[in-house]
Amino acid sequence: MLFMDFARACEQLEGTSGRLEMIDIISRVLPGLSPEELPVFVRFIMGRIFPDWSSKKLGIGPNLLYEAIGYVAGMKKEEVIEKINLTGDAGRAVEELLSSKSQTTFFHEDLDIVRVYTELIAIAGTEGKKSQREKLLAVRRLLGNARPLEGRYLARIMLEELRIGVGGGSVRDAIARAFEVDSSLVEHAVQALNDVGEVARLARLGPDALRHVHITPFHPVRMMLAQQGTIEDMIKEHGQIAAEFKYDGSRFQFHKKGNWARMYSRRLEDVTAAMPDVIEKLITSTAHDVILDGEVIAIKDNKPMPFQSVLRRFRRRHDIAEAQDAIEMVPHVFDILYLDGETLIDLPLKKRRERLESVVKLYIAPQVVSSDPLEIEQTYKAALSAGHEGIMIKVPGSPYTPGQRGKNWIKIKPDVDTLDLAVIGGEWGEGRRAHVFGSFLVACQDQGKLIALSRVATGFSDDQLLEVYELLKDRIIKKSGKEVTFEPVLVFEVGYSELQVSPTYEGGFALRFPRFILIRDDKDISDVETLDSIRERYNRQSKSAQAYQN
Ligand code: AMP
């Protein structure tokens, strides 16, 4: 497939807002692609280069890209940046710059998607002292051969923000339609392989290929997530339920095969180097090849420490040995997804638990199975008095569904007045804070869309504002006066005194006295609070206010 054809498909998709129409466009392209092109096309169309399980980065910062664009368009980097700020879209800016340039150049070597992919992989693999220079040359080469429309999408792929609105669900449906396979089979394969590209390649071979997918050690799968709920509802619906302590630390996935072991964070980053002590503990706990799911907490004087201590450690690159002495990191394992070559995610929790207990000897999180609300209530109290966050209630007959925030895992914890929200905009600060962003617009999610909820301007130290500035300065997608719009990449934990109904924001709610608590870089944008759960909190809050007034 020529990259030009890919660019045309993107242009068509960008002009479409209907999901069904998008599925239609993509599903008509897929059957014509070779096995080699399929995974590349599918990843590219979602703005990805690497499989979702991979934490590899392309390593082309906006600066390098702007420099390369400047070279190809024959202008200074600063002029390129100005142009991008004006259009608010690097892709369109590159397109315009290439159009004016193409009147003077006649030679183009046709790009095709597999070649672009191969070159990007080579760029990502460039290491060492001269790597920045080599990357720059490679990007210049690619852009130098791009026609204007290709430039629009090539630039966006290199920045890993394609912005054509194609979500994972649409791509999965398009694969199902293109190869006439059941969409639940596609969904299941995506959950196990965590790579839609590879799933497209298998779907081409037919339903059997999809049915027999296996989890591969060292290709982390997405974590199963929890919703809020109540003990009573869970018992009413399921009878017997399984309760575990909800540990307030950091989620991990531990992979072990033979003598080789790695550990991944909730966002599937490889945190092996930062956690040698935990890895050692888990290695000694089993002789088998396994993938384990759990939470690691920090312990000092026999008490759990706030989860920030674990986060700090996940981020740590140096002086790990020193950090190990200060605080003990203890893993609590609550699930097993893979055992000696066998994929276990489709087994019910009860069976997975049996396997877990038969092969792992230490660090298993205790579980209470009961249909008695009092017994579960007692477990909850025990959890809180031991300094944990609450309990998790799980349905014993349920499979492990990677990446899903379903009703099979329910979290029970005391109401806390904080929310995890996406940072979508900001405003430059004033006075001594004029060189950083001073306030931020934060959003919750609703049906895949981000909905503004509040502005946060207090609670930051100067250091924190500087840290946030470093994280967001290259993520500006629009500027208007002092206001900026960010690509949504960062999650803040935000405290508040009360939820209010408000016409100011689209979601109909606003926060009273919002204040910044913490950067949640263990969380993805898809983890931020939903509008539904905010509505639920609001209802609970007004009920308790009424009770107070009565
Ligand atoms: P939340 O982050 O509030 O949505 O709660 C879900 C998180 O609780 C999971 O992602 C885990 O990191 C954590 N957690 C702690 N203990 C457990 C447990 N026993 N089972 C599942 N998740 C747990």
Q: What are the pLDDT digits (tens) for 478-522?
A: 888 899 999 999 999 999 988 999 998 989 999 999 999 999 988
Between the two ends of the chain, the Cα-to-Cα distance in Å is 69
Place of tokens 């992979």: 255
| Residue 104 scores a pLDDT above 80 | no
* Residue whose CA lies nearest to ligand 1 atom number 5: 226
> Residue 71 C-alpha to ligand 1 middle, in angstroms?
49
Rounded-to-integer distance, Cα 348 and Cα 233, Å: 20
CA atoms within 13 A on the CB side of 374: 0
> Residue 125 C-alpha to ligand 1 middle, in angstroms?
34
Name beta bridge partners: 512. Answer: 498
Of 97-106, 407-416, 422-431, 435-444, where does mean pLDDT reach its minimum? 97-106
Rounded-to-integer distance, Cα 65 and Cα 63, Å: 5
Q: Are 178 and 31 within 8 A, CB to CB?
A: yes
| Amino acid at residue number 479 | K
- List all residues 6 or more positions away from 381 whose beta carbon is below 8 Å from its beta carbon: none
409 Cα nearest atom in ligand 1: 21
Helix (H, G, I), strand (E, B) or coil at 228: strand
> Residue 217 C-alpha to ligand 1 middle, in angstroms?
22
447: pLDDT confidence band, cut at 50, 70 and 90?
A: confident
* Residue whose CA lies nearest to ligand 1 atom number 23: 246
Which of the following is catalytic: 83, 135, 246, 256?
246
Place of tokens 């339903």: 207
130 is catalytic: no
Of 64, 87, 89, 86, nearest in space to 77 by CA: 64
Of 489, 490, 426, nearest in space to 454 by CA: 426
Q: What is the pLDDT of residue 548?
A: 47
* Residue whose CA lies nearest to ligand 1 atom number 17: 246
Rounded-to-integer distance, Cα 314 and Cα 323, Å: 11
> Residue 4 C-alpha to ligand 1 middle, in angstroms?
45
Instruction: Note the residue count of the chain.
Output: 550
Rounded-to-integer distance, Cα 407 and Cα 404, Å: 9
| Residue 550 scores a pLDDT above 50 | no
Q: What is the pLDDT of residue 173?
A: 97
Q: What is the pLDDT of residue 325?
A: 66
> Residue 383 C-alpha to ligand 1 middle, in angstroms?
13
Name beta bridge partners: 253. Answer: 264, 293
What residues does ligand 1 touch, defined as CB less than 6 Å away? 223, 225-226, 244-247, 251, 295, 334, 365, 392, 411
Which of the listed residues 224, 247, 491 should we mutate to test ligand 1's pocket, taking the one with most ligand atoms within 8 A of CB? 247
Mean pLDDT across the chain, nearest whole number? 91
Of 389, 355, 366, nearest in space to 250 by CA: 389
* Residue whose CA lies nearest to ligand 1 atom number 14: 246
Considering only the C-alpha atoms of the chain, give the largest distance between any 2 of them, rounded to a whole number of Å. 80
138: pLDDT confidence band, cut at 50, 70 and 90?
A: very high
The H or E element spanning position 423 is strand 418-428
- List all residues 6 or more positions away from 52 whose beta carbon is below 8 Å from its beta carbon: 194, 195, 196, 222, 268
223 Cα nearest atom in ligand 1: 10
